[in-house]
């Protein structure tokens, strides 16, 4: 794990507060209230004195990527643009905003799944042609969703789908171990819970809230062939770039692919091939490798594909305020915030 040490109390007390000019005035005043100091604009020019820097914003200028940076709180959940723009200062804590993004993305995923099962695209087409035709529909219940990413967002998706009776299989970086799932009460939207287990027990699937089962990324071939929906919530890291390529799409057998993670985790050529040869039923892409997509971008012509312009989990000012306040309170108490980013992993 690659995380900076917590800011020392004296350094935090002396830190200058820099906020991105894009932040709303009311949000800036809330950040000032939380930290007990006035804010200055976050610009390409560092303040003249040597005080430590506490920054809140979307991007970090190169001139501030120094040991003066004490803490950067990202107003976004995805921090890959921050980390890929240049070397991250080793002493600097990086936290992020998630807020209620998991709920929003979960509703987005479920909405498209329900629309597909109720033949909404087909009925919309027939309405446009004034054509009356009864079409078959299907239930989401008892079908399988393979969800890549078992963190906050992936788990939120799993919980909501599980509440609708969908079988949820999470895919993590590595195989998880933990209590057996063969007995005990079932918690809606989660794996089976076995009373008395509070430690890892080798040889059994780990209980991960939001999922009926969790597998490792290296053992997903069979699960891809069984899934009705393949859902990606993956962040963009060195390990996930191009993750969904020809080999994984070749294992799919008629699933719909939904990407609410990062666009560059998908090999778009392999995706197009899988759509055109029918291995993928359709695709719902909230994210793309290059954003925004220009009107002439070939991605708009992918068959049976909908693009939703990176809108599934928009961060609100309330999210930023709530998460920054929680991080500040935790740091002030000498503990590491849950929203700390491991800069080595990229999430």
HSE-CB of 30 using CA atoms within 13 angstroms: 17
Beta-bridged to residue 282, according to DSSP, are 256
Task: Work out the angle at residue 64's Cα, subtended by the Cα atoms of residues 61 and 68, and round it to the nearest 5 degrees.
Answer: 165
> Is position 127 annotated as part of the catalytic site?
no
Distance CA 64, CA 130 (A): 60
Among 159, 167, 310, 321, which one carries the catalytic annotation?
Answer: 310
Helix axes of 25-35 and 317-332: crossing angle, nearest 10 degrees: 10
Establish whether 219 is a catalytic residue: no
> Counting runs of H as helices and runs of E as strands, what totals does the chain give?
10, 12
Q: What is the DSSP letter of 293?
A: P
Q: Is residue 133 annotated as a catalytic residue, yes or no?
A: no
- What DSSP character marks residue 8? P
47, 23 contact by CB (below 8 A): no
Whether the Cβ atoms of residue 233 and residue 190 lie closer than 8 Å to each other: no
Assigned token pair, 91: 């002493």
Q: Residue 33, CB half-sphere, CA atoms under 13 Å: how many?
A: 9
- Two structure tokens written together for 283: 């695709």
Query: Which stretches does DSSP call E strand in the chain?
Result: 16-19, 39-41, 53-57, 69-74, 93-95, 144-148, 167-172, 213-216, 229-232, 255-259, 280-285, 305-307
Catalytic option among 152, 262, 279, 321: 262
Instruction: Mention every residue, 6+ apart, whose C-beta is less than 8 A from residue 256.
Output: 113, 116, 228, 229, 230, 280, 281, 282, 283, 284
User: From the candidates 40, 291, 318, 338, which is the catalytic residue?
Assistant: 291
Burial track 69-96 (b if 16+ CB lie within 10 A, e otherwise): bbbbbbbbbbbbebbeeeebbebbbbbb
Active-site annotation, residues: 262, 291, 310
């Amino acid at each position: 794990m690659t995380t900076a040490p917590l800011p020392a109390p004296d350094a935090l007390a002396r830190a200058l507060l820099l906020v991105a000019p894009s932040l709303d005035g009311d949000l800036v005043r809330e950040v000032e209230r939380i930290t007990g100091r006035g804010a200055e604009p976050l610009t390409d020019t560092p303040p003249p004195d040597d005080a430590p820097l506490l920054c809140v914003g979307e991007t970090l200028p190169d001139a501030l990527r120094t040991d003066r940076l004490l803490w950067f709180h990202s107003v976004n959940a995805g921090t890959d643009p921050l980390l890929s723009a240049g070397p991250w200062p080793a002493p600097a804590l990086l936290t992020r905003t998630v807020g209620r993004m998991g709920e929003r993305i979960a509703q987005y995923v479920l909405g498209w799944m329900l629309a597909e099962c109720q033949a909404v695209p087909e009925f919309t087409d027939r309405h446009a042609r004034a054509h009356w035709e009864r079409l078959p529909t299907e239930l989401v219940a008892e079908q399988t969703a393979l969800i890549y990413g078992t963190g906050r967002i992936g788990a939120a998706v799993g919980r909501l789908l599980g509440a609708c009776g969908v079988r949820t299989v999470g895919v993590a970086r590595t195989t998880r171990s933990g209590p057996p799932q063969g007995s005990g009460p079932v918690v809606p939207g989660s794996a089976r819970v076995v009373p008395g287990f509070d430690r890892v027990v080798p040889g059994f699937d780990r209980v991960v809230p939001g999922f009926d089962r969790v597998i490792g990324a290296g053992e997903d071939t069979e699960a891809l062939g069984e899934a009705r929906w393949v859902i990606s919530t993956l962040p963009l890291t060195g390990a996930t770039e191009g993750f969904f390529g020809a080999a994984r799409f070749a294992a799919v057998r008629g699933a719909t692919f939904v990407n609410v993670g990062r666009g560059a985790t998908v090999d778009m050529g392999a995706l197009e091939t899988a759509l055109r040869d029918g291995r993928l039923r359709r695709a719902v892409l909230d994210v793309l490798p290059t954003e925004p997509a220009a009107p002439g971008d070939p991605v708009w012509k992918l068959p049976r594909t909908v693009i939703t312009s990176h809108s599934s989990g928009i961060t609100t000012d309330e999210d930023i305020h709530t998460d920054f306040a929680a991080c500040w309170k935790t740091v002030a108490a000498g503990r590491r915030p849950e929203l700390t980013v491991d800069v080595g992993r990229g999430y």
